[in-house]
Amino acid sequence: MQLTQDQLQPEPLQDWRRYFSFCTDHKVIGIQYMVTSFVLYLAGGFLAMLIRAELLTPDADVLVTPDGDPTPYNASFTIHATIMIFLWLIPMLAGFANFLIPLMIGARDMAFPRINALAFWMIPPGATILLASFFFDPPGAGWTSYPPLSLQGVTDANGLVHFHTGQLLWQISVILLGTSSILGALNFITTIWEMRVPSMGIWQMPLFCWAMLATSIITLIATPVLTGALVLLTFDLVAGTSFFRPESGGNPVLYQHMFWFYSHPAVYIMVLPGFGMISEIIPVFSRKPIFGYKAIAISSMAIAVLGFIVWAHHMFTSGTPQWLRMFFMITSMIIAVPTGIKVFSWLGTMWGGKLRFTSAMVFAIGFLSMFVIGGLSGVMLASVPIDIHVHNTYFVVAHLHYVLFGGSVFAVYAGIYYWFPKITGRMLNETWGHIHFWLTLVGFNLCFLPMHKLGLMGMPRRVASYDPIFTYLNTVVSVGGFLLGISTLPFLANAIYSWIKGPKAPANPWEALTFEWTVSSPPPVENFTKLPVLTVGPYDYGHEGRSPDEIIRH
Amino acid sequence: MSGNKLALRVLSVIAGLVIVALSFWVGTSANSWLLPPEATQEAVMVDKLFRATLVIATGIFLFVQATILYSVVAFRQQPGDTSDGPPIHGNVNLEIFWTAVPAALVLWVSVYSYDVSNKTAAGGSAGLGCSVDCPMIVQKVSNPTGKELYINVLAQQYGWTFTYPGLGGSEVGEMHIPAGQEVVVSMQAKDVIHGFWVPDFRLKQDVIPGRVTRLRFTGTKIGEYALVCSELCGGYHGVMRSQVIIDSPSKFNQWVKTELTPKTASLPVSGTKLALK
């Protein structure tokens, strides 16, 4: 329900303490999400650098216990992945959505502000529990936590087998974080569907809203299945049930089905909002309307639907019958088509425009360039005979990082450079933004491009020691990894300095057309003192002074 | 047609030809710089498919990067120009085109992959890693040609042991197979899920506790090949390695005589040593 003019509350104190409280303002919650997840991103990145330090040499010698057991290595990659997925990308993108969606659709807050705050406040305990698991026999079964490995006890120095506390903590943490994102998704769907200003039909919504609508539908349908799988796994772990224990009749492959039923759509949960942000940024800095608005909006929905029938392509070597492998191969191939439509539409948007190379734009172009590589290796992975060779190898590690870093993280950075003035009221330094971009691009490719070859040549993933023939390429990868880690520093310095001392941002520094740029930077507490009326489409660039028949629409 | 437009056309035709040539060069030479040796019949078929998809992928990759590079150079905002670009919202024909072409390409790759997948499972065999849980496969395995060599594999943290039913009862720690003969490997896991992967064979199959999984293949090139565990199985997952040795048939028979007769039984090396530690 929208507040009417006379119901507007007087502004509460603009106090820093509200960022540490159960505040129901969507903008505060958005910032809470973004800052929290960025801090955790640094932790996850630090773990990645430890992993790369271990892999500088073929032997397990860095992340090992004093008696040479590489369990700490396994814990590092398990927690690295869990942080990057559940505590960095998903909450970071939820942060953007929280901050932007009400502003983009002309609403004064989210539909359920208290649920919104609750969803955020499940993240700090989830993060604390996950990080605490490091000190209680850390979980080491990978972020996939396949049973029976995840159900095995831990053997101590005296040969006694103990209950795996760290694994239990991991499961509790992921169940909490999953619940948080279900609550968030519920809120986004309701807000986008119910709270648009009357003048905004669904075909006038900014594409970021379309992307978040698709994302939230996936989250709402898929996440409960993961939560269910983890609850069953927890029963197996603590209560001696055997849903997944083969020795007493359970089926470990059933877990894989339930896990991937969520975790493949989860990839789209992590990348669709990034697509949405790119669809906002490229038209602004190309000074041209988005090319094929409806095709982009519909392809988001198509990806959301198709995303539910591709999961078993993660299981081509799990004893999946041939006919089922063929089914999942074809669906996985087809999902490349809507993704391709988006990529070509962004290229079409830039074509013939007047490109302005702001930091946001160069990251958006970097996204386009890098994401394509991940998309193409994805098609290769969908092919059953090729997948059988490269499944569980560094080829997959390369692929997923091209999608989730080259795709999502580049998009997140583009989004930060673009909306930072709106969020903080300050401008970021553009020169340092470009330095950040080039360091990231070089470090990223140095780190992940050689991994394709490592996988094809025969290096499996999740290993602490490897065949010495792979030493050279692994050294290159590690150097790239360290550079990628260092590339975060100029950004961090820029963001902290600019937030405190940067030049004040005007309401619309980029001359953009969506609603969030019509209010001051940062926006007032109630967003809009008077609700806006949509007079110009979100991407109607180049219309000024032109006659209607010059405008090419369809 | 103005001179500029003509130049652009010529440029794009040249760029297109260069992209096609580069894609074929990168894709078709993959075996020399991107892939390990091909040691089975199956590997040859899988690689052929891989090279074809790599040609397509490289083509699309180069097309996108070239378009980006051209746009960055040609469409940059000129100093002092603050006006917007042309208000073009789309082009239906173009959009149909770039939906149809990728759709056709992925369907072609699907059909080709389907074919390879069936052929590598050819000869009425269990083929690429099907489990006995699949009724079709049980039926096919129960109709053997009679010429296969059967090998049982046991995977456990952190090693592999092999037994050759009908050829002497010893367990061995590395796998020997004769070149040119079809081999059926039946695999069981003792504790957690492991993965049987010989990169030079392009074959991989998870070994899952509680069921038997199978692989069928024909070794062609004599040599020693690494067998690695491809499914995370615990702390020492990375050292769960062994070898598969493709021998000439006569050498293989010799090996069977000396190694598989019970009195000269050798302990499985890689596995038990670590497990006992």
Residues of chain B with pLDDT under 70: 1-2, 121-145, 262-277
Is some CB atom of chain B closer than 8 A to the CB atom of A69? yes
Is some CB atom of chain B closer than 8 A to the CB atom of A106? no
B146: three-class secondary structure by DSSP: coil
Q: Do A355 and B71 touch (CB under 8 A)?
A: yes
Residues of chain B found within 8 Å of residue A406, distances taken between Cβ atoms: none
Output b/e per residue, B115-148; b: 16+ Cβ within 10 A. ebbebbbeeebbbbbbbebbeebeebbeebeeeb
Residues of chain A with pLDDT under 70: 1-14, 545, 547-554
Residue B130's pLDDT is what?
44
Which of residues 108 through 147 in chain B touch A, CB cutoff 8 A? 109-110, 113-114, 116-118, 120-121, 127-131, 133-134, 136-137
Q: How many contacts (CB atoms, under 8 Å) link A and B?
A: 307
Residue A8's pLDDT is what?
55
Q: Do B113 and A384 touch (CB under 8 A)?
A: yes
Interface mutation vs chain B, best among A63, A80, A149, most B CBs within 10 Å: A149
Provide the greatest CA pair distance for chain B. 90
CA dist A99 and A167 (Å) reads: 34
- Alpha carbon B163 to its chain centroid, in Å, reads 26
Output b/e per residue, A125-135; b: 16+ Cβ within 10 A. ebbebbbebbe
Residue B139's pLDDT is what?
34
Interface mutation vs chain A, best among B82, B84, B105, B239, most A CBs within 10 Å: B84
A148: three-class secondary structure by DSSP: coil
Query: Which residue blocks in A391-429 are alpha helix, DSSP H?
Result: 394-403, 410-424
Cα–Cα nearest to A367, from A326, A317, A411, A315 = A411
Is some CB atom of chain B closer than 8 A to the CB atom of A253? yes
Is some CB atom of chain A closer than 8 A to the CB atom of B231? yes
Residues of chain A found within 8 Å of residue B57, distances taken between Cβ atoms: 376-377, 379-380
pLDDT tens for B213-245 read 888 899 999 999 999 999 999 999 999 999 999
DSSP string of A503-537, one letter each residue: PBP-S-TT---SGGGGS-SSPPTTS-SS-----S-
Neighbour count for residue A368 (Cβ, 10 Å): 25
Is some CB atom of chain A closer than 8 A to the CB atom of B236? yes
* Nearest-neighbour CA in chain B from A388: distance (Å): 6
* Radius of gyration in angstroms for the set of CA atoms belonging to chain A, rounded to a whole number: 23
Compute CA distances A543 → A289, A386, A548, A550, whole Å. Answer: 9, 49, 8, 9
Compute CA distances B260 → A42, B188, B189, B268, B269, whole Å. Answer: 55, 20, 22, 12, 15
Backbone torsions φ then ψ of B155, nearest 5 degrees: -110, 135
Helix axes A336-350, A322-334, angle to 10 degrees: 10
Q: Enter the pTM of the model.
A: 0.93
* Nearest-neighbour CA in chain A from B223: distance (Å): 16
Q: Which of B98, B193, B205 sits opposite A341 (nearest CB)?
A: B98
Structure tokens at A403: 């999608």
Consecutive H or E run containing B156 = strand B149-156
Residue A18's pLDDT is what?
85
Compute CA distances A389 → A199, A392, B38, B237, whole Å. Answer: 54, 9, 12, 18
Note the residue count of chain B: 277
Cα–Cα nearest to B158, from B191, B187, B130, B134 = B191
Which of residues 125 through 164 in chain A touch B, CB cutoff 8 A? 140-142, 146, 148-149, 152
pLDDT tens for B116-150 read 998 886 333 344 344 444 433 433 444 456 778 99
Residue B124's pLDDT is what?
32
Is some CB atom of chain B closer than 8 A to the CB atom of A391? yes
Closest residue in chain B to residue A458, using alpha carbons only: B199
Cα–Cα nearest to A317, from B47, B21, B205 = B205
